[in-house]
Amino acid sequence: MLNADRTDPALLRELIAAELLAARERTALLTGAVDDAELVAQHSPLMSPLVWDLAHIGNQEELWLLRNVGGRDPMHPEIDPLYDAFEHPRAERPRLPLLPPAEARAYAHEVRGRVLDLLAASPLEGAPLLDAGFAFGMIVQHEQQHDETMLITHQLRSGPAVLDAPPPAATGGPLPAEVLVPAGPFTMGTDTEPWALDNERPAHQVDLPAFWLDTTPVSNGAYRRFVADGGYDDPRWWTPAGWAHRMSAGLEAPLFWQRDGGQWLRRRFGHLEPVPDEEPVLHVSWYEADAYARWAGRRLPTEAEWEKAARHDPASGRSRRFPWGDEAPGPEHANLGQRHLRPAPVGAYPQGESPYGARQLIGDVWEWTSSDFTGYPGFTAWPYKEYSEVFFGPEYKVLRGGSFAVAPVACRGTFRNWDYPVRRQIFSGFRTARDAGPRTEG
């Protein structure tokens, strides 16, 4: 979220309008990069057709802003069931009578025009959905989250590259392998972030023992050593469920990796290229991340450990919005917003470093944690329980920190993501931790 005086309605409207525009420009890029045939095709049973995402974005915007906030009558109530994410699993959506591309674009465009009129007249206060522009912020984040989903679909599609972006800059200089996070309490979650979603709330105290955390995400080069050492063939490193999945799915390396003689290549948005050792490993499941950590004699951090390392400032005792402070992310802090179509090399973004010395906690790759997705003490579902509460339980593992595909508005130190432990198409990586004790070299 951009830095702005959210108590000034005029400045807040300007902020919301800018975020709405940025999200729609990205949606247009992702849906305009392919022809209509590719928009309506399903490129993977794990993902919706791109045209479904486009109309779903418009439908959710109409539902929450025009109907719930503005009190308007439904524009096309007959399409509501088609774009209800709980009504139809992704694998079934290509068989639905979806709006064709031109109609989906027209619908999303008409909704947006009416929303901008509503924004201009809204007091942005006086009701929970309006306070600090929350409903508008929720919809902005929703669109940007679907933009990340559509970027995943672009990675899964076959054929030549249609998206392009410059590579991130490399950052030199050696770093310690791990950083120490001392024992003690910190404030987890938030009561003050105006556009925070329900699962980020409420703020609460968590007291943790000391632990060591990787300074950076695990790199491709480090992960390649796990592969070369037979990590995928040794059940000692895998949980029983992980080993069963590794065997049934035939996992041998991260998704999109393939052998070419003596080297590993990867497919990235239509390009086939050598796996770069210096980048964080990408497209690994929780089971793979957990197995690597065991092989390395370490473990995945808990969600609370991750957040303390990312937010706690030992000098002041307070929790920051981001590792570097409270100001919104800039290009010097983190790899966010699809500026690049790949993670930056490990050790990048020294200006985004946390007070404990950890880097790249925000951006580059979503980081798996060891924690199940549950509500915080005192959790209250709002404004609807289907956003978070229906997913609580041991079936889902928490990811933190965002990826290069995440927009700054949908990424902060309290933001929580979750997915099944088998998922690999997401832009997921990890870093490892260990309990504090005598430090080992190597």
pLDDT of residue 171: 77
| Binding region for gamma-L-glutamyl-L-cysteine | 90-93, 419, 423
| Domains recognised in the chain with CATH numbers | 9-156 (1.20.120.450), 165-442 (3.90.1580.10)
Which residue is it, tokens 């700054």?
Answer: 408
pLDDT at 441 over 60: no
**Average pLDDT in the 285-305 region?**
98
* One-letter amino acid of 342: R
Helices H, strands E: what count in the chain? 9, 12
pLDDT category at 3 given cuts 50, 70, 90 is low
| Binding region for Fe cation | 56, 142, 146
* One-letter amino acid of 8: D
pLDDT in tens, 58-85: 999 999 999 999 999 999 999 999 999 9
pLDDT category at 4 given cuts 50, 70, 90 is low
Of 6 and 98, the one with more pLDDT: 98
pLDDT in tens, 152-195: 999 999 999 999 999 998 876 899 999 999 999 999 999 999 99
| Binding region | 56, 90-93, 142, 146, 419, 423
* Summary mean pLDDT of the chain: 96
Map residue 48 onto helix, strand or coil.
Answer: coil
Q: Are strands 271-274 and 366-373 parallel, antiparallel or unpaired?
A: unpaired
From CA 83, how far away is CA 52, in angstroms rounded?
7
CB count, 10 Å around CB of 387? Answer: 15
What is the C-alpha radius of gyration for the chain, rounded to an integer number of angstroms?
22
- Global confidence as pTM: 0.96
